[in-house]
Amino acid sequence: MVKLGGFRLSNYFNKVRIVLLEKGIAHQEENIFFSQDEGYRKRSPMGKVPFLEVDGGVICESAVICEYLEDAFPDKPLLPRDPLQRAKTREFLQVLELHVELVARRLYGEVLFGQKVSDDVKKEVTRDLEKGVRALRQLAKFSPYVLGGEFTLADCAAGLHFPLVGMATKAVLGHDCLESMPEVGEYLKLITARPSFQQVNADFRVAFAAHQAAQKSASS
């Protein structure tokens, strides 16, 4: 049995859930937060989420987990067969996650946890996002999926990262950094109509409401 460890507020945990659901892989979930405890690091060496427990071992890092699932469960492929297109899918994922999502993540503390972001950080994030989004505009196709006619791992990530990045930048910076990609709106309507996204997004909303309630209770 495949077991996915993490929590439903994590977009990287949710990305792996999308892959599992799209591929129809039977799995269990373990609701667990990141930790630097020694016991936890035996399962996830960097103390992060998500991690995947399978027969024979534990795998961490969401990109690696998704590649493992693609190799181990090839019946419903989420990477193109053509080697160049497979590489272009990985290229898009790298740009999206390293140069857009990771940059915007510096704003999440203010959006999700009420931790103020300094003006210097806002300037750095704005500068770096301009370059990352420019690269995304060059790589994305939106015809109808983010890289063309096939639903791929790139969509499993983009369908989750785009809304969160847009929300965070609009809330903290005053504008949606993806506004220069007007295709995103229609694309997200297409993606979020899929059963996998409907389930994951519904679970995210429940988890977010519970998190907000807990924060309010702790501050009162």
pLDDT digits (tens, 9 = 90+) for 168-220: 999 999 999 999 999 999 999 999 999 999 999 999 999 989 988 887 787 77
Burial of 100 (0-12, 13-18, 19+ CB in 10 A): buried
Q: Residues of the chain with pLDDT > 90: what percent?
A: 87
What is the pLDDT, as a whole number, of residue 216?
Answer: 79
Residues 6+ apart with CB under 8 A from 72: 54
- 3-state secondary structure (DSSP) of residue 194: coil
Average pLDDT in the 97-115 region? 93
Average pLDDT in the 136-163 region? 98
Asked if the model's pLDDT at residue 20 lies above 90, the reply is: yes
Q: Which strands form 27-31's sheet, in the order they lie side by side?
A: 27-31, 2-6, 51-54, 57-60
What is the pLDDT, as a whole number, of residue 219?
Answer: 76
Asked if the model's pLDDT at residue 22 lies above 90, the reply is: yes
Instruction: Give CA 164 to chain center in angstroms.
Output: 9
Which of 3-12, 33-42, 163-172 has the weakest average pLDDT?
Answer: 33-42
